Amino acid sequence: MRLVAKTKAITDTQHGATPHSSERIARAFSKQPALVAYVVCGDPDLETTRDIILQAISAGAGIIELGVPFSDPVADGPVIQRGSQRSLENGTSLLDVLRLAKEIRAQSDAGLIIFSYLNPILRMGLERFCEMAADAGVDGALLLDLTVEEADEYREVMEKHRLSTVFLATPTSPDERLKRIAKASTGFVYAVSRTGVTGTNDKLAADAQQLVRRIRKYTKLPVAVGFGVSNAAQFAQIGEFADAAVVGSAIVQTIENNPGRAPQAVAELIGSLTGTNRSAGVGR
Q: Which residues pair with 113 in a beta bridge?
A: 65, 140
Give 15-72 as a DSSP string.
Answer: TTPPPPHHHHHHHHTTSSSEEEEEEETTSS-HHHHHHHHHHHHHHT-SEEEEEPP-S-
For residues 262 and 255, the answer to whether their CB atoms sit within 8 Å is yes
CA distance 217 to 232: 28
DSSP-derived 3-state class of residue 270:
helix
256 is catalytic: no
Q: Report CA 13 to chain centroid distance, whole Å.
A: 23
For residues 272 and 281, the answer to whether their CB atoms sit within 8 Å is yes
Q: Taking the alpha carbons of 254, 260, 263, 269 in that order, is the dihedral positive or negative?
A: negative
65 is catalytic: yes
Q: What angle do CA 274, 221, 159 make, to 5 degrees?
A: 115
Active-site residue, from 65, 139, 243, 268? 65
Active-site residue, from 23, 76, 109, 268? 76
Cis peptide, bond prior to residue 33, ω within 30 of zero? yes
Catalytic residues: 65, 76
